[in-house]
Amino acid sequence: MTDTNTYLIRGARVLGGEETDLLLRGGRIAEIGPGLDGGGAATVDARGAVALPGLVDLHTHLREPGREDAETVYSGTRAAAMGGFTAVHAMANTFPVADTAGVVEQVWRLGRDSGYCDVQPVGAVTHGLGGTTLAELGAMAESIAAVRVFSDDGHCVSDALLMRRALEYVKAFGGVVAQHAQEPRLTENAQMNEGVVSDRLGLAGWPAVAEEAIIARDCLLAEHVGSRLHICHVSTKGSVQIIREAKRRGCDVTAEVTPHHLVLTDDLAESYDPIFKVNPPLRTADDVEALRAGLADGTIDIVATDHAPHPIEAKETEWSNAAMGMTGLETALSVVQSAMVETGLLDWAQVAERMSAAPARIGRLSGHGRPLAVGEPANVVLFDPSVSREVDPAAMASKSANSPFRGRTLPGRVAATFLRGTPTVLDGKVQ
């Protein structure tokens, strides 16, 4: 008889170490060690695969409510599971905006009902992402969704006074403001990174300084009021330098980088194919190198996907009419393997820190980002780094196909994901 509540994982390399066995029982890690006897447990042959704690994404667009044509909580969490995630933070720019306790509770419940991964709603900082008045942050924090991350992502909280107030206010409940750093006047109608390529292509530029100026300002504000601050999708070399310097001074700032900004560059816009249109835009090879170095030395704390699904018609159009954003959940770990592990910049333990432990800490998420140790929640991803695959968006669990890695060969494959001991992915297939 097979015990469906118990799984014996054979021969996994925990954080890339020696092969060992893990026994998952009752939603927890019951035993770790070589040659375990699973009794009647279902056995998962994981020889060669790396075992990591379930990944945590601090920046996901699930699009529900409002844009269910692009993604739903159900499809998005299946995509998350396929990418090895056991928790995602759902961004607030839905329709209606997640700026009330009611909406964040709705998203939270949809996530719980899906069962593929935990959904932790992010609350909007301002009403309707309008940037003028604070949303009821306390009500969202006290709701059943227990919101701790607040962001107007997609829009910058550009008003310095409002940003100061938000940073101060969320201290009362251990919240953090995640800033989409984009000075709005410097980026009016901006289409791509401002530089040699944008000038040649005649596309309005999104200058690096528009990101860096806001990050510098917000680090100073956070220091002044003694708040913590999180910076979304850092994309430039200058931003890395500013954050490194702020941390050195003792500023309580954390930062994320997306997988796509770790490998893709602005020259891809030469095709005018908006599959490469994203905000912040793809930057230069120099920026990519600085972002990798920043992620390696801890200046950038985490990788976050900024998974941004869009329907086909939003991308099969002229560049300036196209939507900004890329899907990312199902390619994130492979991209990190390619950009960071195979280059020797990170080992798997450091990947676990940056894609599981640290994002869970920043999001104040209990039960995720825990070490793979006996007694801990059985949130586990088994990742086989030895295989490679050609990215086929049509075969993905996400409802949308706007992956910039379409047609590229990426290393690694998520073989299995366990959420509190229950497999959401087995044999590379969503359950």
Partner 1 sequence: MRHLLSAGDLSRDEATLVLDTAKELAQVGDRSVKKLPTLRGRTVVNLFYEDSTRTRISFEAAAKRMSADVINFSAKGSSVSKGESLKDTALTLQAMGADGVVIRHSSSGAAKRLSTWVDGAVLNAGDGTHEHPTQALLDAFTMRERMGRVEGLRVAIVGDILHSRVARSNVLLLATLGAEVTLVAPPTLLPVSVRSWPCSVSYTLDEVLPKSDVVMMLRVQAERMKDAFFPTAREYTRRYGLDDDRFAKLHDDAIVMHPGPMIRGMEISAAVADSPRSTIVEQVANGVSVRMAVLYLLLGGSESAIGN
Binding mask 321-340 for partner 1 (x = CB under 8 A): x-------------------
Minimum distance, C-beta of residue 4 to partner 1, in the bound complex (Å): 49
Contact between 407 and partner 1 by CB under 8 A: the answer reads: no
Contact between 132 and partner 1 by CB under 8 A: the answer reads: no
Per CB under 8 A, contacts with partner 1 among 177-196 are: 191, 194-196
Minimum distance, C-beta of residue 59 to partner 1, in the bound complex (Å): 28
| Of the candidate residues 54, 76, 121, 205, the single one contacting partner 1 (CB under 8 A) | 205
Give a three-class secondary structure readout of the chain: CCEEEEEEEEEEEECCCCEEEEEEECCEEEEEECCCCCCCEEEEECCCCEEEECEEEEEECCCCCCCCCCCCHHHHHHHHHHCCEEEEEECCCCCCCCCCHHHHHHHHHHHHHHCCCEEEECECCEHHHCCCCECCHHHHHHCCCCCCEECCCCCCCCCHHHHHHHHHHHHHHCCEEEECCCCCHHHCCCCEECCHHHHHHCCCEECHHHHHHHHHHHHHHHHHHCCCEEECCCCCHHHHHHHHHHHHHCCCEEEEECCHHHCCEHHHHHHCCHHHCCCCCCECHHHHHHHHHHHHHCCCCEECCCECCCCHHHCCCCHHHCCCCECCCCCHHHHHHHHHHCCCCCCHHHHHHHHHHHHHHHCCCCCCCCCCCCCCECCEEEEEEEEEEECCHHHCCCCCCCCCCCCCEEEEEEEEEEECCEEEEECCEEC
Minimum distance, C-beta of residue 267 to partner 1, in the bound complex (Å): 13
Contact between 286 and partner 1 by CB under 8 A: the answer reads: no
Q: Which residues are catalytic?
A: 306
| Of the candidate residues 131, 173, 186, 319, the single one contacting partner 1 (CB under 8 A) | 319
Q: Which is nearer to partner 1, 313 or 427 (CB)?
A: 313
Binding mask 144-183 for partner 1 (x = CB under 8 A): ----------------------------------------
Contact between 313 and partner 1 by CB under 8 A: the answer reads: yes
Annotated binding residues for Zn(2+), written as ranges, equal 59, 61, 153, 180, 233, 306
Provide the binding-site residues for partner 1, judged by CB under 8 A: 191, 194-196, 198-205, 207, 271-273, 313, 316-321
